[in-house]
A = this chain, B = another copy of it.
Amino acid sequence: MQHIRLAIIGFGNVGQGLASILVDHSSRYTQDFDVRFIITAVTDALKGGAMDPNGLDPAALLSSVEKTGTLSEMPNFRPSWDVAEMIHSAPCDAVVELSFTNLQTGEPATGYLTEAIRCGKHVVTSNKGPIALHYDHLTALAAEHGVQIGVEGTVMSGTPAIRLGRKILAAAGIQRIQGIFNGTTNYILTKMEAGAAYLEALREAQALGYAEADPTGDVEGFDAAAKVAILARLLFGTPLPLNQVNRTGITALTPADIQEAASAGQVWKLIGALEMIDGKLSASVRPQRLPLAHPLARVSGATNAVTYTTQLLDEVTLIGPGAGRLATGYAIIEDLLSIYSR
């Protein structure tokens, strides 16, 4: 059996989701995949750090955060633990990078990933910033150090959009990608379809925790644009600066627009799209009116979906969660299993 020791950077929603998966599914993973995941170190900017070479109990990590908001109940607790120091000192095989996303610079996450790769660790992340902005740099470095980079969680959380496109459909010849890559805006549009005005739907999304206090990143399409850039690089092999994604958000859509579409048997969706036209990659994020027969038209609420138009299979559509503790935590598991056991 393979023991895979993990050092985790960032213990927010996704990190806790991963810990929770390990509480409930570790014995199944051992049985089915002959691997044992062991969290040897965790550091979080707000919650502090903890380390145990023999493994931190994931249930204890969750319980400490629930009770104290920090990792203070864990062995070798440190109120703060520098990430670079953790990477260098924690006994681990893979570094799981789950710090906050920055779409301007990709930092500090890119620096963390770089450090981990230089230390010869595999890295797995669900963080869009470094992958949208610095993927080529990171893969070159990873190749140099003989390690792998797992990125499934950066698009559609654990719904395997990247793996499907990259591993399974690549030989079918992907010509076009269209997707609903942002659950918050899809939730808002679904509410507007049901009669709500934009602001009312936004408030509801904020109350449910789908939208942040400043919703700009979602509603103006920046989040979806980052995912489009990631898919451009991973599935079309084309690095795409974020400002080359033709981007329009959903804030200008009115109830009248929604109703007009509905009476024409159509529905508005915020579609991220990539298409190779005459050897040039066209990339956009913008609201589009889809006929109800389109496979993305009926994807409602916070769900995400992607349609790959291919030469040999025509349209193949994958629909699944685009966010969530467990769903994104699962992306990490998928990547680790892919690196280690398959």
Quote the shortest CB–CB distance from A273 to chain B (angstroms).
Answer: 18
Question: Is residue A339 within 8 Å, beta carbon to beta carbon, of the partner chain?
Answer: no
Interface of A is mostly: mixed
Quote the shortest CB–CB distance from A188 to chain B (angstroms).
Answer: 17
**Cβ-closest chain B residue relative to A320:** B316
Cβ of B319 and Cβ of A313 under 8 Å apart? Answer: no
Chain A, residues 300-313, CB within 8 Å of chain B (1/0): the string is 10000000000111
Cβ of A321 and Cβ of B314 under 8 Å apart? Answer: yes
User: Interface segment, A48-56, A67-75, A155-163, A177-185?
Assistant: A155-163
> What bracket does the count of chain A residues touching chain B fall in?
35 or more
Question: Is residue A342 within 8 Å, beta carbon to beta carbon, of the partner chain?
Answer: yes
User: Interface segment, A58-66, A102-110, A140-148, A168-176?
Assistant: A168-176
**Cβ-closest chain B residue relative to A160:** B168
Question: Is residue A234 within 8 Å, beta carbon to beta carbon, of the partner chain?
Answer: no
- The answer for the CA separation of A319 and B298 in the assembled complex, in Å, is 13
Question: Is residue A223 within 8 Å, beta carbon to beta carbon, of the partner chain?
Answer: no
Cβ of A330 and Cβ of B313 under 8 Å apart? Answer: yes
Contacts of A330 in B (CB 8 A): 171-172, 312-313
Cβ of B28 and Cβ of A173 under 8 Å apart? Answer: yes
Quote the shortest CB–CB distance from A256 to chain B (angstroms).
Answer: 24
- The answer for the CA separation of A327 and B169 in the assembled complex, in Å, is 11
> For window 313-341 of chain A, which residues contact chain B by CB distance below 8 Å?
313-321, 326-327, 329-330, 333-334, 337
Question: Is residue A32 within 8 Å, beta carbon to beta carbon, of the partner chain?
Answer: yes
Cβ of A160 and Cβ of B164 under 8 Å apart? Answer: yes
Cβ of A171 and Cβ of B333 under 8 Å apart? Answer: yes
Cβ of B319 and Cβ of A316 under 8 Å apart? Answer: yes
Question: Is residue A4 within 8 Å, beta carbon to beta carbon, of the partner chain?
Answer: no
Among A21, A33, A292, A320: residue with most chain B CB under 10 A: A320
User: Which residues from chain A sit less than 8 Å from chain B, CB to CB?
Assistant: 21, 25, 28-29, 32-33, 157-160, 163-164, 167-173, 292-293, 295, 297-300, 311-321, 326-327, 329-330, 333-334, 337, 342
**Can you name 12 A-B residue pairings with CB atoms under 8 Å?**
A21-B312, A158-B312, A159-B316, A163-B168, A164-B168, A172-B330, A293-B298, A295-B298, A312-B326, A312-B330, A313-B326, A314-B321
